[in-house]
Every structure is written in C-alpha cells, then in structure tokens.
A = this chain, B = another copy of it.
Amino acid sequence: MAQKQFSGKTIGRLGFYRRIVDDALAKGEQYLHSHELAVRAGVTAAQVRRDLMVTGFSGSPTRGYELKSFHNTLAHFLDAKSPQHVAIVGVGNLGRALLSYFSGGRSKLVISAAFDTDPEKAGRLFHGCRCYQIDEIPEVLKKEQIRTAIMTVPVEAAPATASRLAAAGIKSILNFAPVPLRVPEGVHVENLDVTMFLEKAAFFARAR
C-alpha cells in the first residue's frame, strides 16, 4: 500500500485545525474561511488549503468550510475506527503531568494504562489512570488493545523500554527521552526532546 503520502507535519496541523473547529462549533460558528482558520492556527491560508486536500474535504468559495462536516471529515481521517487508547511508561513528574494534561478530556486520546518500575506506584491510580508494573506490559497492552505509548522514562532506561514496548505490539512511541531509539521496522517513533526546545528558545533570546 502506498502509504506515507502525508507528512507528519500535515497530520499535526490537521489535528490542530480540528481543535479550532471544535472551539468554533462550541461558540456556535457554522462556517470558516481558510484565512480565518489560518489566523487561528498561526499558519498561512495557502497552507490550510493544501493541508485540507489530503482529507478530500472541500468548501464553498462563497461560504468557506462548513464546520460540522469538516469536523466529521477530520475525525474520519485522523481517528481510528475504535477509540484509541494510549499507555504511558514512566510515572515521574513529567509522566504525571501528562496524565493530568490528557485526562482533562479536551483531547480525543485517553491514557488508559500507566507503567512504572517503582513497586510503590503499581496498583495506584494517577489522575484516574491505573499504574501497573513494567512486566505487566504485554498483558495489559493486549487486554486494552493499546498500540500507542508515551515514554517518560529516564534516558538510561529508554532503549530497553522501547524494545519491550515494540515486543508487546506497540506501533508508535512518543519518546521524551533524549536518545535515538532503535525499533523494529513498522514501529513509528516521535521524539520530543523538551531540553532541545528550551535550548533553542534560550539561543534566540541571546541572539538579538
């Protein structure tokens, strides 16, 4: 199958547009032109129109995009058929913050299992999410049909954790550890190195 005609960047922006559309619908808005959508998303109108192409959704030159069906198109394009559950490995400060962040219900994605090496944490609930022991990963992921995982483990533990997750059937990892992960083909890794973002910001503060 000729996959990968959409870049990750486009996917990310489509998700952002969806949140904007949700907000607009909540405010009672019914139509939005590409320009207004672009302003709210912080991109250009041309970018918006190009991004929408991959979803097959089209608007009207006079009224713009009808938000309800736009919303449905985005949901159909972005979401899996069944609700998509996410696991998080590493319930430290960052892990707990993310659990709290995503338990708000704003996002379509729900973290439904947490894992930690600390036996003290296993069995407890964090922001409503049950924490399991690391070696329960295969069993729990299978039971909950989880294919996406967030890794907020210390950098030393990251490579081994990634292997465990891949072995347990995880297809995509959001990795907060600042280390490249070696995973089997077919497993997607999205790296988010917070330190790198802060260092970039700091650099541009001084460069002016």
Residue of chain B at shortest CB distance from A95: B97
Task: Let me know if B200 and A190 touch, CB within 8 A.
Answer: yes
Task: Let me know if A194 and B11 touch, CB within 8 A.
Answer: no
Residue of chain B at shortest CB distance from A42: B180
Task: Let me know if B178 and A19 touch, CB within 8 A.
Answer: yes
Assembled-state Cα–Cα distance A175/B125 (Å): 29
Identify which of A100, A109, A199 gathers the most chain B CB atoms within 10 Å of its CB: A199
Selecting from A27-35, A45-53, A56-64, A166-174, the interface stretch reads: A166-174
Assembled-state Cα–Cα distance A178/B42 (Å): 10
Q: How many residues of A contact B (CB 8 A)?
A: 60
Task: Let me know if A199 and B15 touch, CB within 8 A.
Answer: yes
**Chain B residue contacts of A192, Cβ below 8 A:** 192, 194, 197
**Chain A positions 1 through 26: 1 when the CB is less than 8 Å from some CB of chain B, otherwise 0:** 00100001001100110010000000
CB of A150 closer than 8 Å to a CB of B? yes
- Given A180-B40, A188-B208, A205-B148, A98–B194 Cβ distance below 8 Å? yes
**Chain A positions 183 through 208: 1 when the CB is less than 8 Å from some CB of chain B, otherwise 0:** 00010101111111111111111111
Task: Let me know if B147 and A206 touch, CB within 8 A.
Answer: yes
Selecting from A78-86, A116-124, A130-138, the interface stretch reads: A78-86
Closest CB of chain B to A89's CB: distance in Å?
A: 13
Closest CB of chain B to A60's CB: distance in Å?
A: 26
A-B contact pairs, 10 of them (CB 8 A): A12-B193, A12-B199, A19-B195, A97-B97, A101-B194, A102-B198, A107-B199, A148-B198, A171-B206, A192-B197
